[in-house]
Homo-oligomer: A and B are copies of this chain.
Amino acid sequence: MTMDERKKLILESIIKDYVETAEPVGSRAVVKKHNLKISAATVRNEMSDLEEMGFLEQPHTSSGRIPSELGFRYYVDCMMEKESLSHNESEVLQNLLGDGKQEWSTVVERVGHFLSQVTNYASFIIIPPFGLSEFRYLQLLPLEPGKAVMFLVSDMGMILHNKIDIPESVKEEDLRSISQIFNQILRKRRIGDVRRSEMQELRDTLKRRRRVIDQALEAIEHMLENSGEERVVISGALNILNEPEFKDLERIKRILSILEEESLLRHVLPDYIGDEVDIRIGKENQEERMKEMSLVFTGYKGFGDMGKIGLMGPVRMEYGKAAGAIESVRRAVEELLKRF
């Protein structure tokens, strides 16, 4: 059996109705709603064909049809058009990205919020580990007797700080010259690469100020550990409660638990992600609990590594709108990162 234009039109109509109402769609309803120039009986025949082809399914013999996951896949691949943001929405997005001076983390939170507001799905943004970006600058500053603070700046303008203990005898000048030495050795290294060998080299070179150096190195290691993890920012998880297919409490718990356990999201997404918008529908997802949901996501060039940004919603999702929103946001975020 082959997919002619009429079948396509009918499939599309059914998908649109179903996405809107979450109810099985009947032959009469589809004819009426979309002003098709054919009779309900004809549509019934076509629907029967579409079912045989695997694009539709019937919850029970005497109900309308709903699109199968394969049906959605066909729609996404062959018929969907990305729906770009409205003028208004684009403007809001530009505004909340700011001028590049804001903390990156607050910008990300705002963008996540925006995404979930615009689409009514749950959004997630994965920030790649800081450890993979380039080292640019380190500075030790005295804080109070016996304490100092160490600042670390990466090429992307990310700033980390950490308190360290130092002998009380160490003076501000000492700290400054120690910072100098650090900088000479570390400049332009990828922060993740610095780890072991380099640090040993430092320790050897700088025997004199051992205590301070040791503390500083320890602090760096500590920072690397804490920042070597991706960060996950989730927003609008409660949007899921509004989807009619999730009126079952057990189901809701299952879904929300994925979002609560941030680390799980990493297993859900493929390790490698390009900069195309990618869509995973229902059982196409690996993770068991994700098989009743869909993902729309893409990668963005972040701090040396790829970050990820995406939406999570029911299989009955407005893929066109979701994909459009994701794409716009990706473009805007990359634009912003370039400015850093």
Contacts and interface: CB of A to CB of B under 8 A. Distances in A.
Contacts of A149: 151, 153, 159
Contacts of A257: 238
Interface stretch (A84-92, A245-253, A290-298, A309-317): A245-253
Contact residues of A: prevailing secondary structure: mixed
A242 B256 CA distance: 12
Interface stretch (A9-17, A23-31, A47-55, A135-143): A135-143
A104 to B, nearest CB: 11
A206 to B, nearest CB: 21
A178 interface: no
Interface in A132-163: 137, 139, 141, 143, 149, 151, 153, 157, 159, 161-163
A322 B157 CA distance: 43
A260 interface: yes
Contact of A241 (B163, B164, B242, B249): B249
Nearest to A141: B139
A237 to B, nearest CB: 8
Interface string A241-275: 11000010100110011001000000000000000
A101 interface: yes
The 5 closest A-B pairs by CB, nearest first: A159-B161, A101-B163, A241-B253, A238-B256, A238-B260
25 contacts: A100-B163, A101-B162, A101-B163, A101-B164, A101-B222, A106-B226, A137-B141, A137-B143, A139-B141, A141-B151, A149-B151, A149-B153, A149-B159, A151-B151, A151-B161, A157-B163, A161-B161, A238-B253, A238-B256, A241-B253, A241-B256, A242-B253, A247-B249, A249-B249, A252-B252
Given A249-B249, A252-B252, 6 more contacts: A137-B143, A143-B153, A238-B260, A241-B249, A241-B252, A242-B253
Interface of A: 100-101, 106, 137, 139, 141, 143, 149, 151, 153, 157, 159, 161-164, 222, 226, 238, 241-242, 247, 249, 252-253, 256-257, 260
